[in-house]
């Protein structure tokens, strides 16, 4: 017996434009506007023909839930599916729906221990943030300070209801609907670019596929090279850490990530729709994350601390300066080279015991760290200095 939706609150939650977008994506066409109160839609005969539905235009209408229920009933009949399935698809018409599933035998009833569930949600967020950063620029490691656009995107992402089938977490990544543009209006006949939100979801799935391939190849060769080559496809230490954390819920069962692309913005058939990361990939991915963090240069890192060592020959154009500062919540010694004029300012700060601040690219050098391309070196004068 197929479920019938009668809950008024649920039906009222559907928006008229969401219903219209779904109908258009399924081959329906708007036949008439009914005095601004509703619109009449007909199913294209080529799509299975001769059905009509009336979509109310405003949720404030008294019979809105009743009319939406009739639309669901007709769609379920036409598509030979349950109203619940149709309802779920309409809700996600304007979003890419990402499903993260851990096929754990301990979660067959769709539940997890609370601590594991919290961790699962946090690592899912980390995975989406890694994809959002990679959609802007490809790096082996993203430092704590993330791009503003990535953070703004993350604030729009929503967590949907969990689903049955072990434990399935759903993430709704909003995407603007596609609006057709006449080819004559495009420069040089180019196709319009995807919006950033869709670019993030595509980057996620492409980077997961590349991560799976890299873990397989690196496991066979014992070489980091496959992971390094996959950075250009969006693989990073951040993505690796997120996947390792997600798999920790069920270490021996792997991780399955699927996406249902929004009907409002179609994609080419070859676009990845799912990746399964087998459990034997996880230790390789974990080691790759460690290697990335150890060797990747961090761009635009600001180091602040005390000058603890100075070294410059009498005629040398540059001098070596060591600053003791905080990196990833640990005190580290960072060495950098400064020109003669700025080096003299470091000497001054050292003599007067002032804090200094400098920005550059942070790289691991042996057992320590080095700040390449140092810039914006300044002495920080505090109220209690001296």
pLDDT one-digit tens code per residue, 121-158 = 999 999 999 999 999 999 999 877 788 999 999 999 99
* Mean pLDDT of the region 274-298: 92
Q: How large is the angle between the packed helices 196-221 and 148-156, nearest 10 degrees?
A: 100
Instruction: Judge contact between 40 and 52, C-beta under 8 A.
Output: yes
Binned at pLDDT 50, 70 and 90, residue 160 comes out as confident
Beta strands across the sheet bearing 28-34 = 28-34, 38-43, 52-56
* Mean pLDDT of the region 53-58: 94
For residue 316, how many other CB atoms are within 10 A of its CB?
12
For residue 266, how many other CB atoms are within 10 A of its CB?
11
* Mean pLDDT of the region 228-254: 93
CA 291 to chain centre: 22
Q: Which SS3 state, helix, strand or coil, does residue 313 take?
A: coil
Residue 106 region, left (φ>0) first, then alpha (ψ -120 to 50), else beta? alpha
Q: What DSSP string runs through 43-110?
A: E-GGGT---EEEEES-TTSTTHHHHHHHHHHHHHHHHTS-HHHHHHHHHTTTEEEEEEEE--GGGTTS
The structural domains of the chain, ordered by start, are: 8-91 (no CATH), 96-176+195-295 (no CATH), 298-380 (2.40.50.140)
Beta strands across the sheet bearing 158-159 = 158-159, 167-174, 95-102, 255-260, 274-277
pLDDT at 303: 92
Residue 370 CB partners (closer than 8 Å, separation 6+): 334, 335, 336, 362, 363, 364
Indicate whether 1 pLDDT > 60. no
Q: What is the pLDDT of residues 329-367, one digit of tens each?
A: 788 899 999 999 999 999 999 999 999 999 998 888 877
Mean predicted lDDT score pLDDT of the chain: 88
- Angle (CA) 315 320 325, round 5°: 155
Q: Which residue has the higher pLDDT, 338 or 3?
A: 338
From start to end of the chain, where are the E strands?
28-34, 38-43, 52-56, 95-102, 158-159, 167-174, 255-260, 274-277, 298-311, 318-327, 330-339, 355-365, 368-380
| pTM for the predicted model, two decimal places | 0.75
Indicate whether 386 pLDDT > 50. no
Report the sign of the C-alpha dihedral through residues 319, 325, 328, 333, in that order.
Answer: positive
For residue 101, how many other CB atoms are within 10 A of its CB?
23
Task: Give the CA diameter of the chain.
Answer: 91
**CA 350 – CA 67 distance, rounded (Å):** 76
Binned at pLDDT 50, 70 and 90, residue 375 comes out as very high
Q: What is the pLDDT of residues 309-320, one digit of tens each?
A: 999 988 899 999
Give me 163's structure tokens: 């689903």
Q: In a 10 Å sphere around its CB, with 0-12 CB exposed, 13-18 middle and 19+ buried, how is residue 258 labelled?
A: middle
**CA-wise closest residue to 328 among 133, 146, 144:** 144
* Mean pLDDT of the region 363-382: 88
**CA-wise closest residue to 347 among 371, 372, 319, 326:** 319
């Amino acid at each position: 017996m197929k479920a019938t939706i009668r809950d008024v609150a649920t039906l009222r939650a559907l928006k008229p434009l969401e219903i219209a977008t779904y109908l258009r994506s399924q081959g329906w066409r708007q036949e008439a506007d009914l005095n601004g109160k509703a619109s009449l839609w007909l199913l294209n005969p080529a799509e299975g023909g001769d059905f009509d539905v009336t979509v109310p235009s405003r949720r404030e209408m008294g019979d809105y839930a009743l009319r939406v229920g009739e639309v669901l009933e007709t769609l379920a009949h036409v598509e030979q599916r349950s109203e619940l399935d149709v309802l779920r698809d309409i809700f996600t018409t304007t979003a890419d729906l990402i499903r993260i599933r851990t096929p754990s035998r301990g979660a067959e009833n769709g539940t997890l221990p609370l601590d594991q569930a919290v961790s699962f949600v946090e690592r899912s967020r980390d995975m989406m943030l890694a994809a959002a950063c990679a959609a802007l620029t490809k790096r082996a490691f993203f430092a704590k300070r993330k791009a503003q656009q990535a953070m703004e995107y993350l604030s729009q992402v929503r967590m949907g209801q969990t689903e049955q089938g072990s434990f399935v977490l759903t993430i709704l990544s909003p995407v603007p609907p596609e609006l057709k543009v006449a080819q004559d209006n495009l420069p040089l006949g180019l196709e319009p670019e995807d919006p950033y939100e869709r670019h993030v979801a595509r980057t996620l799935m492409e980077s997961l596929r590349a991560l799976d391939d890299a873990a397989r190849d690196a496991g066979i060769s014992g070489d980091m090279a496959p992971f390094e080559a996959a950075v250009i496809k969006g693989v990073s230490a951040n993505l690796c850490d997120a996947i390792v954390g997600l798999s920790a819920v069920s270490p021996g069962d792997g991780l399955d990530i699927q996406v249902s692309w929004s009907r409002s913005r179609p994609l080419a058939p070859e676009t990845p729709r799912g990746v399964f990361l087998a459990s034997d990939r996880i230790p390789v991915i974990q080691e790759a994350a460690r290697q990335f963090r150890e060797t990747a240069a961090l761009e635009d890192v600001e180091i602040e601390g005390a000058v603890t060592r100075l070294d410059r020959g009498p005629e040398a154009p540059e001098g070596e300066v060591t600053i003791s500062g905080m990196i990833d919540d640990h005190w580290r010694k960072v060495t950098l080279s400064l020109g003669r004029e700025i080096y003299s300012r470091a000497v001054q700060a050292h003599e007067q015991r002032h804090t200094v601040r400098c920005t550059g690219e942070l790289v691991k050098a042996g057992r320590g760290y080095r700040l390449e391309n140092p810039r914006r070196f300044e002495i920080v004068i505090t109220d209690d200095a001296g």
